[in-house]
Amino acid sequence: MTWHEVAERCFQRRYSDFDVTVGVIVGAAGAVVIDTRASVAQGVRLRDDVRRLGVEDPIVVNTHGHFDHCFGNAAFTGVRWGHASLPDYLAHTVRPMLAREFPGWAEKVETDLLLAPDHLVTDHAELGLGDRVVELRYFGRGHTDGDLVAWVPDARCAFTGDLIEQSGPPSYGGDSFPLEWPGTLAALLRTVDGVLVPGHGEPVDPAFAARQREEIDLVARRVRETHAAGLDVEEALATGGWPYPAETLREAIRRGHDHLDPRPGSG
């Protein structure tokens, strides 16, 4: 595990814990770290690793509110940027979800100080680093309702968080928006190109991202079809025609059916 310069002064490092990918963007008058790992202790180790790039007190950008991307925020003293939905999400949603999905880790980090972003983005913001600008862009809901992309125009490099994943299928959790995700990715791909650094895995190109968008669009279409047929989650999975393994799609179907027909207990 080491830093890789994937574009000019844009670095990526992949950590084995939760297989998370972290980024660093360096400018003449500052730097940005993209995501901070899954605990304060992991954030401290990340801070030490970032210093090996000659970076002190970077700006923090959280791509979204999942614990493996932002629970290390308290290890950094710089300002923190994230989508406008993140403070409420981190205050009320992330810890209960963590307790359900990763109870052992939830217990391990239950006393960790969780710092929400103090600079918020609703659509677009620009971070000046002296000789370059980092654009923070919100393209819509997908993996969560607060997925933020960091785009470096001069290097043609984007850090996409979990809107794109390379090391496995896209992650549909209980806070995902499977019907909106394809449109969000389409908007992203109309705006950025070049190197795309996912939240998990190795950097990809726009062709990879376009293929994944087609697969995510197929999930959305199958969700609509199975909802129209009146099928429940297991019946929908049994029909086949899905691009990803069944165990990764139960929440996609449940969430999608609920969004199409939000009656209590549906899906």
Taking the CB of residue 17, how many other CB atoms lie within 10 A of it? 12
If pLDDT is split at 50, 70 and 90, which confidence band does 267 have?
Answer: very low
Taking the CB of residue 133, how many other CB atoms lie within 10 A of it? 14
Which residues are paired to 204 by β-bridges? 196
Q: Supply the pLDDT for residue 261.
A: 84
Q: Supply the pLDDT for residue 255.
A: 96
**Distance of CA 57 to CAs 21, 33, 76, 257, Å?**
20, 9, 7, 44
CA 246/CA 144 separation, integer angstroms: 20
What number is the average pLDDT over the span 159-170? 97
Please name the amino acid found at residue 8.
E
Tokens of 126: 């620009």
Q: Are 79 and 106 in contact (CB under 8 A)?
A: no
Tell whether the torsion through CA atoms of 266, 182, 127 and 3 is positive or negative.
positive
Share of the chain above pLDDT 90, in %: 97
If pLDDT is split at 50, 70 and 90, which confidence band does 242 have?
Answer: very high
Q: Are 169 and 250 in contact (CB under 8 A)?
A: no
If pLDDT is split at 50, 70 and 90, which confidence band does 265 have?
Answer: very low
**pLDDT of residue 266 exceeding 90:** no
For residue 115, give the DSSP letter. P
Q: Supply the pLDDT for residue 263.
A: 56
CA 21/CA 160 separation, integer angstroms: 10
pLDDT tens, residue by residue, 132-164:
999 999 999 999 999 999 999 999 999 999 999
**pLDDT of residue 264 exceeding 80:** no
What number is the average pLDDT over the span 194-214? 98
Q: At 143, is the secondary structure helix, strand, or coil?
A: coil
pLDDT tens, residue by residue, 2-50:
999 999 999 999 999 999 999 999 999 999 999 999 999 999 999 999 9
**Distance of CA 39 to CAs 2, 75, 105, 210, 221, Å?**
20, 9, 9, 33, 37
Q: Supply the pLDDT for residue 83.
A: 98
* Average of per-residue pLDDT values in the chain: 96
For 102, phi and psi rounded to 5 degrees?
Answer: -135, 70
